[in-house]
């Protein structure tokens, strides 16, 4: 089975390690370039994208991660991880010197941080999620129950990017900030996968399973 790293600088690392093991992968935390070099794919967890960005540069992982992304390594980013994979951040945070946060990039999308609003930062909803056909039962593919915790949404997708899921404003409660519009919350481009929500905290295994299939070249 593939060896999958979880970027272990900050965020919900343990939840991703467990989710990966639950779908039959070997999972390991990644904090050094030598550990990154050993993995077949990488998960960038939810957390705080500005912190992960800063630590990745301090730990000298940012450049090696960018190089491996460019070389085709499969990467799955959830929430803060989606922000770190995005080519463009609509509203980057700035540090004390006024320098905007950076991302590893690779995924041709523009994200907006904390997009679902501050006053109701967390909400849950069911999503139709493309690409989970392998899990279909008699009644088709079950929806994904998604938990959003100060999550981003995707405001622009490049021509190569496939939209896998959107929040349906008619289904989602507590989302005044949608203004009646569907918002993109899961995308894939080549070997890069990103979700605005956290499958690792709900016991949802299919997103990690999809990622393992991508690593194996089966999806
Ligand atoms: N708002 C966070 C950020 O900008 C992401 C939140 C999360 O990962 N749960 O990084």
Instruction: Give the pLDDT confidence score for residue 173 in this predicted structure.
Output: 61
Domain extents in the chain: 3-113+152-163+183-216
Distance between CA atoms of 39 and 76, rounded to whole angstroms?
A: 13
> Rounded to the nearest whole angstrom, what is the distance from the C-alpha of residue 47 to the centroid of ligand 1?
5
Residue numbers in the known binding site are 47-49, 113, 149-150
The CATH T-level fold of domain 3-113+152-163+183-216 is Rossmann fold (3.40.50)
pLDDT > 80? residue 177: no
Confidence band for 182, pLDDT divided at 50, 70 and 90: confident
115 or 3: whose pLDDT is higher? 3
Q: Which two tokens stand for residue 152?
A: 């981003």
Beta partners for 86?
A: 107
Average pLDDT over residues 17-40: 98
Average pLDDT over residues 52-70: 98
pTM of the model: 0.95
Instruction: Give the pLDDT confidence score for residue 176 in this predicted structure.
Output: 61
Q: Where are the beta strands (DSSP E) in the chain?
A: 3-7, 26-30, 41-44, 75-78, 86-89, 107-112, 122-127, 144-149, 153-157, 162-167, 183-189, 192-195
Q: ipTM of this predicted complex?
A: 0.92
Any idea which of 33-47, 120-134, 204-218 has the lowest mean pLDDT? 120-134
> Rounded to the nearest whole angstrom, what is the distance from the C-alpha of residue 136 to the centroid of ligand 1?
31
Confidence band for 172, pLDDT divided at 50, 70 and 90: low
Instruction: Give the pLDDT confidence score for residue 116 in this predicted structure.
Output: 82
Sign of CA dihedral 111, 112, 114, 120: negative
In this structure, are residues 104 and 62 in contact, taking their beta carbons and an 8 Å threshold? yes
Q: Count the residues in the chain.
A: 219
Average pLDDT over residues 5-29: 97
Q: Where are the beta strands (DSSP E) in 2-134?
A: 3-7, 26-30, 41-44, 75-78, 86-89, 107-112, 122-127
77-124, pLDDT tens digit by residue? 999 999 999 999 999 999 999 999 999 999 999 999 998 876 566 888
Distance between CA atoms of 143 and 129, rounded to whole angstroms?
A: 7
Taking the C-alpha atoms of 96, 64, 25 and 140 in order, what is their torsion angle to the nearest 10 degrees?
70
> Rounded to the nearest whole angstrom, what is the distance from the C-alpha of residue 212 to the centroid of ligand 1?
24
Active-site residue set:
79, 198, 200
* Residues framing ligand 1 (Cβ under 6 A): 46-49, 79-80, 83, 113-114, 149-151
φ and ψ at residue 80, rounded to 5 degrees? -55, -35
Mutate to test the pocket of ligand 1, among 114, 194, 199 (most ligand atoms within 8 A of CB): 114
Residue numbers in the known binding site for L-glutamine are 47-49, 113, 149-150
Close Cβ partners of 78 (under 8 Å, ≥ 6 residues apart): 16, 43, 44, 45, 46, 194, 195, 197, 198, 199, 200
């Amino acid at each position: 089975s593939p060896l999958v790293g979880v970027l272990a600088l900050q965020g919900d690392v343990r939840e991703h390690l467990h989710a990966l093991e639950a779908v039959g992968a070997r999972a390991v935390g990644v904090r050094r370039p030598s550990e990154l070099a050993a993995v077949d794919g990488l998960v960038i967890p939810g957390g705080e994208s500005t912190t992960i960005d800063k630590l990745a540069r301090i730990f000298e992982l940012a450049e090696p991660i960018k190089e491996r992304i460019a070389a085709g390594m499969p990467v799955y980013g959830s929430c803060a991880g989606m922000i770190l994979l995005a080519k463009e951040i609509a509203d980057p945070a700035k540090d004390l010197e006024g320098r905007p946060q950076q991302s590893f990039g690779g995924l041709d999308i523009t994200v907006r941080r904390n997009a679902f609003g501050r006053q109701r930062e967390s909400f849950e909803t069911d999503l139709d999620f493309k690409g989970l056909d392998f899990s279909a039962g008699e009644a088709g593919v079950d929806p994904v129950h998604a938990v959003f915790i100060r999550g981003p949404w995707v405001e622009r997708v490049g021509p190569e990017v496939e939209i896998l899921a959107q929040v349906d404003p008619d289904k989602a409660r507590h989302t005044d900030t949608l203004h009646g519009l569907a918002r993109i919350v899961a995308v894939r481009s080549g070997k890069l996968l990103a979700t605005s929500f956290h499958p690792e905290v709900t016991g949802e295994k299919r997103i990690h399973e999809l990622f393992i299939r991508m690593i194996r070249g089966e999806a």
